Amino acid sequence: MPFIEHISYSDLERLALQRLVPALLSHGFCYVDGLLGELAGSAVLDQVVEMHNSGQLQDGRLAGSIPGVSRRSIRGDKIAWVSGSERGCEAISFLLNLIDRLISVCASRLGDKAIQERSKAMVACYPGNGAGYVKHVDNPNHDGRHLTCIYYLNKDWNPKEHGGVLRIFPESKPYVVDIKPLFDRLLVFWSDRRNPHEVQPSYATRYAITVWYFDSEERAQAKKRFRALT
Ligand code: AKG
């Protein structure tokens, strides 16, 4: 697909070194607007909409269940996991490649963790029926996830009308941070207990793509623990 590579390596390096790294180190999160531009961002959106319309998204799963509490009241998204190499995911693959390049510039500057691999991409849709995702931590128990990167795809999003704001509750801070899920916005934050967050009820179809980058050491330990249990 003929995307225009509107971000050069030096742009990426500048974004990583001047914005992402300092913000992550001082605040624990950072967002960047206009990551891909209108053309490539719209191509990603089209592919996600097509996945949704063709029934490829399934109810998001919970790590456990609470008797008497419905899944939807905790987490109301529909998701699919993609590597990017699937047919019809070329634009998503382009996005993932760009995020990989960005994070690889940041990786050695974010402390002593080796960040060398990531999860597949989770394509998510909150269908607009008032569902959200209650306050949670992505990696509360050392499963290896170190950085959460969320790319939002929602044009003309009006939080007053559509809700769907991501609220971060930075650990030990007296404030919260509200992130609107705006088209072509990339949000990056630490996946561990430093950043509890919630998706507020969403009243319009809300799309996002999330990837998690692993701390290699923690991930290897987590896999060992998991194997010991099975
Ligand atoms: C999650 O999937 O764990 C989320 O918290 C979703 C965040 C978002 O879509 O803004």
Question: Could you give the ipTM of this predicted complex?
Answer: 0.99
For the question of whether the overall pTM of this predicted structure is more than 0.80, the answer is yes
Amino acid at 99: I
Alpha carbon 146 to chain centroid, angstroms: 12
Q: What angle do CA 131, 132, 137 make, to 5 degrees?
A: 155
Instruction: Name, in order, each residue with C-beta under 8 angstroms of 225's C-beta and a sequence gap of 6 or more.
Output: none
The answer to whether 44 and 90 are in contact (CB under 8 A) is no
- Does residue 197's CB lie within 6 angstroms of at least one atom of ligand 1? yes
In a 13 Å sphere around the CA of 72, the CA atoms on its Cβ side amount to 8
For the residues of 2-16, what is the DSSP string, one character each? -----S-HHHHHHII
Express each pLDDT in 13-23 by its tens digit: 999 999 999 99
Instruction: Name, in order, each residue with C-beta under 8 angstroms of 89's C-beta and a sequence gap of 6 or more.
Output: 47, 82, 83
pLDDT at 6: 66
Give the N- to C-terminal CA distance of the chain in Å, as an integer.
43
Residue 120 CA to ligand 1 center (angstroms) comes to 15
- Does an H or E element contain 29, and which? strand 29-33
Residue 159 CA to ligand 1 center (angstroms) comes to 16
Express each pLDDT in 52-94 by its tens digit: 999 999 998 887 777 777 777 888 899 999 999 999 999 999 9
The answer to whether 193 and 92 are in contact (CB under 8 A) is no
Tell me what percent of the residues of the chain surpass a pLDDT of 90.
Answer: 85
23-27 mean pLDDT? 97
Residue 168 CA to ligand 1 center (angstroms) comes to 10
- Does residue 150's CB lie within 6 angstroms of at least one atom of ligand 1? yes
